[in-house]
């Protein structure tokens, strides 16, 4: 049970939701949007957050979209992880959504996961790798922006703005991918120490895009990682031998030259995460190699 | 647009019946089921979304009722352990000793019921995937696993 009293608002439109947030904010109240609610309800019960107003946006039709237009697949942020897995229109997203347990996946929303308070936010990884577009509702109505412009460690939105949907080019959703997730003791239902995804956009010799969660303080896509992975892939491709990965690219020197510190907490040391990250890079490359069944793609 | 403050009267559809309840908007579904409606099948275990003792069906899908606000379930079909009418499944838990202290059992029954509805003949991987949602502190997992196998085809 949540100890404090709250006001619960269920708007019928995006504008009503926006207006309700602005009104509550102007009154000096602590206001949150409620989507799946798994994190918000739990944190409120634990007294980690103290919402006075909750605006339930989980039934807004724009946020419930699972659609496609001529160019893009559209994923509304109120879709649950279970719905994303079942639809499987973007297989890498389905894989990344296969986190937590089955019953939580029935409530946890895409928006709640990508914009949550926990540092992992693993369902954002395929969108980072695929250079997704994001629809945001704010003061000027609905706008679209590349994810790279609004996501840096987290979605950087103005107060009251609503993350409506994420859009991925249909071709991107079909490209070969690789996924590795490492947890303590290999437990499937646990927070990740490292989750790494590759999406091979196949546009020439530098098409692999990488996104990582768990290893650092926030999910990220990093140009240096992309570059190093693609160089390793080219070397492997030229030599037609995947065993070259482990020797050529992922020694300590590589991770030490990253300008982002590895996360260190009670779950794992930075050194261990660095080790797992290098292992994940190697495993992802081999997964991708195997998807081409040994045939070079160049 | 709906706005709920203080104590509000709402109608919930629970186990096929329309039930009027007076709730605070901050009340979780688990709390309402137990304290307002006397449906104590869903148990307050961790209240943190980890243990699965509070599992109920919301529109046919198993969810943890400790993580759901009651007011957000208006218009949805709620089904608790009391509303699970699959005697074959329940008997299988008895026959295979799929419980020890019994605290987690309603959550397992609800989740298993949903599993067998979604996958009438689940393989071991699917069973294990679904049952990761529930914890048995007596560690009686083998009996639970056997019970589901026994229930396959009877549910």
Task: Nearest chain A residue to B132 by CA: give it.
Answer: A101
Task: Nearest chain B residue to A101 by CA: give it.
Answer: B133
Closest CA to A199 of A59, A120, A113, A95: A95
- Please give the residue that has the higher pLDDT: either A112 or A255: A112
- The enclosing domain of A49 has a CATH number of 3.30.43
Of A4, A12, A42, the CB nearest to B67: A42
In this prediction, residues A250-257 reach a mean pLDDT of 68
Q: Are residues A181 and A286 in the same domain?
A: yes
Residue B24, both tokens: 């605070």
Contact state of A103 with B111 under an 8 Å Cβ cutoff: yes
Residue A19, both tokens: 């207006």
Average pLDDT across chain A, whole number: 90
Distance CA A123, CA B114 (A): 25
Alpha carbon of A263 to those of A84, A194, A219: distances in Å? 29, 10, 11
Task: Nearest chain A residue to B48 by CA: give it.
Answer: A42
Distance CA A111, CA B105 (A): 32
Q: Is the pLDDT reported for residue A249 higher than 80?
A: no
Inside any domain, residue A128: yes
Residue A252, both tokens: 């300590």
Residue A232, both tokens: 């390793």
Inside any domain, residue A1: no
Of A9, A16, A103, the CB nearest to B64: A103
Contact state of A2 with B27 under an 8 Å Cβ cutoff: yes
Task: Give per-residue pLDDT as tens, A155-196.
Answer: 999 999 999 999 999 999 999 999 999 998 877 778 899 999
Q: Mutation test of the interface with chain A: which of B29, B49, B74, choosing the one with the most A Cβ atoms within 10 A?
A: B49
Closest CA to A177 of A158, A201, A195, A155: A201
Q: Is the pLDDT reported for residue B84 higher than 90?
A: yes
- The enclosing domain of A85 has a CATH number of 3.30.465.10
Q: Are residues A177 and A288 in the same domain?
A: yes
**Please, which pLDDT band fits residue A298 given cuts at 50, 70 and 90?**
very low
Least confident interval from A29-43, A49-63, A92-106, A175-189: A175-189
Residues 6+ apart with CB under 8 A from A162: A14, A17, A18, A33, A57, A63, A136, A137, A138
Residue with tokens 């947030």: A21
How much of chain A exceeds pLDDT 90, in percent?
Answer: 72
Contact state of A103 with B48 under an 8 Å Cβ cutoff: no
Q: Are residues A47 and A68 in the same domain?
A: no
Q: What is the pLDDT of residue A145?
A: 97
Of A2, A5, A42, the CB nearest to B49: A42
Q: Are residues A166 and A132 in the same domain?
A: yes
Write down the ipTM of this complex. 0.94
Q: Which domain holds residue A154?
A: 61-172
Q: Are residues A135 and A185 in the same domain?
A: no
Q: Is A115 helix (H, G, I), strand (E, B) or coil?
A: coil
> Phi and psi of B142, rounded to 5°?
-65, -45
Inside any domain, residue A297: no
Q: What is the pLDDT of residue A238?
A: 66
Q: Are residues A159 and A266 in the same domain?
A: no
Q: Is the pLDDT reported for residue A31 higher than 80?
A: yes
Task: Give per-residue pLDDT as tens, B26-82.
Answer: 999 999 999 999 999 999 999 999 999 999 999 999 999 999 999 999 999 999 999
Task: State the CB neighbour count (10 A cutoff) for residue A285.
Answer: 24
In this prediction, residues A131-135 reach a mean pLDDT of 97
Closest CA to B117 of B140, B85, B141: B85
Residues of chain B in contact with residue A106, where contact means CB-CB under 8 angstroms, are 58, 61-63
The string of DSSP codes covering A195-246 is: EEEEEE--STT--EEEEEESSSSS-B--HHHHHHHHHHHHHHHHHT-TTHHH
Q: Mutation test of the interface with chain B: which of A14, A57, A102, A190, choosing the one with the most B Cβ atoms within 10 A?
A: A102
**Domain end residue (candidates: A151, A172, A193):** A172
Distance CA B94, CA B96 (A): 6
Residues 6+ apart with CB under 8 A from B107: B42, B43, B45, B51, B52, B53, B54, B55, B81, B134
Residues of chain B in contact with residue A188, where contact means CB-CB under 8 angstroms, are 132
Residues of chain B in contact with residue A82, where contact means CB-CB under 8 angstroms, are 61
**Domain end residue (candidates: A125, A141, A172):** A172
């Amino acid at each position: 049970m949540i100890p404090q009293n709250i006001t619960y608002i269920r708007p019928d439109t995006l504008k009503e939701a926006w207006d309700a947030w602005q009104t509550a904010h102007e009154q000096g109240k602590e206001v949150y949007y409620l989507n799946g609610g798994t994190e918000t309800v739990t944190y409120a019960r634990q007294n980690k957050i103290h919402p006075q107003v909750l605006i339930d946006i989980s039934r807004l039709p724009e946020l419930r979209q699972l659609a496609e237009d001529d160019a893009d697949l559209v994923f509304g942020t109120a879709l649950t992880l279970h719905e994303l897995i079942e639809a499987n229109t973007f297989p890498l997203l389905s894989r990344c959504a296969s986190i937590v347990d089955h019953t939580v996946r029935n409530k946890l929303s895409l928006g709640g996961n990508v914009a949550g308070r926990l540092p992992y936010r693993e369902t954002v990884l395929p969108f980072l790798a695929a250079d997704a577009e994001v629809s945001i509702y704010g003061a000027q109505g609905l706008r679209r922006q590349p994810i790279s412009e609004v996501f840096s460690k987290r979605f950087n939105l103005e107060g009251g703005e609503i993350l409506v949907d994420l859009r991925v080019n249909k071709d991107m959703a079909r490209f070969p991918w690789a996924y590795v997730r490492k947890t303590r003791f290999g437990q499937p239902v646990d927070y990740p120490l490292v989750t790494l995804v590759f999406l091979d956009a196949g546009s020439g010799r530098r098409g692999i895009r990488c996104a990582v969660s768990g290893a650092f303080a926030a999910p990220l896509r990093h140009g240096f990682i992309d570059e190093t992975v693609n160089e390793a892939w080219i070397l492997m491709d030229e030599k037609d031998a995947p065993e070259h990965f482990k020797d050529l690219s992922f020694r300590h020197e590589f991770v030490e030259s990253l300008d982002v510190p590895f996360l260190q907490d009670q779950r794992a040391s930075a050194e261990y995460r660095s080790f797992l990250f290098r292992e994940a890079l190697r495993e992802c490359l081999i997964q991708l190699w195997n998807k081409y069944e040994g045939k070079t793609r160049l | 647009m709906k706005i709920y403050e203080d104590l509000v009267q709402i109608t919930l559809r629970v186990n096929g019946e329309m039930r009027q309840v007076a709730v605070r908007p901050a009340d979780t579904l688990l709390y309402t089921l137990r304290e307002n409606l006397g449906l104590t099948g869903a148990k307050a275990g961790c209240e943190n979304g980890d243990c699965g003792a509070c599992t109920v069906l919301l529109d046919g899908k198993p969810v943890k009722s400790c993580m759901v606000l009651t007011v957000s379930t208006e218009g949805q079909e709620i089904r608790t352990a009391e509303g699970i009418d699959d005697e074959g499944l329940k008997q299988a838990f008895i026959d295979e000793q799929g419980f020890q202290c019994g605290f987690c059992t309603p959550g397992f029954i609800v989740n298993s019921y949903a599993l067998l509805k979604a996958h009438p003949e689940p393989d071991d991987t699917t069973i294990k995937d679904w049952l990761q949602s529930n914890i048995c502190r007596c560690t009686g997992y083998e009996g639970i696993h056997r019970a589901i196998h026994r229930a396959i085809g009877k549910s």
